[in-house]
Amino acid sequence: MAITSFTDEYTCPIPPSRIFKASIIDSHNLMPKLMPQAIKSIEFVQGNGGAGSIKQINFPEGGNFKSIKYRIDELNEEKFVYNYTLIEGDALIDKLEKITYEVKFEQSADGGSISKVTSTYYTEGDFKLKEDEIKAGKEKVLGMYKAVETYLLQNPDAYA
């Protein structure tokens, strides 16, 4: 097994508490509304959102993926930390055992937030990840964050 990690940082003008509530705590409600072309629905298949819960993301017909499932490993609303593991679905191509994500929102000097995301890919055998596939995944995640950021900027009372 090979392990490959990447850490990315994103800045946002929204305070950590709001962006965390919208993009993490209420993602199962908000994301399908903001991005119906990308996410059909998000549902809990086990648990109620805390550590150990399992979420399933269902994608619209005609896309590259049908669905994925991930397990919530840590949800800390006080420190704005969210860790989860992709455990099942089309995104786990044959040579990937799992992908873990560590997400942390920190207060920035301007009152906004800095999002730090570490993605760790656990591959089977000597399989090597393709850089363009990783880049495409990162762009999708950034697109979701930007959709939430735009929504929160346009709706200043939402998730306040």
Phi, psi of 42 (to 5 degrees): -135, 130
Task: Express each pLDDT in 76-90 by its tens digit.
Answer: 999 999 999 999 887
State the Cα–Cα distance between residues 66 and 48, nearest whole angstrom. 23
Phi, psi of 129 (to 5 degrees): -75, 145
Neighbours of 27 (CB within 10 A): 20
Strand locations in 13-154, DSSP E? 41-46, 54-58, 67-76, 81-89, 96-107, 113-123
Task: Express each pLDDT in 100-151 by its tens digit.
Answer: 999 999 999 999 999 999 999 888 877 777 777 777 777 887 888 899 999 9
Task: Express each pLDDT in 88-109 by its tens digit.
Answer: 887 676 778 888 999 999 999 9
pLDDT at 134: 76
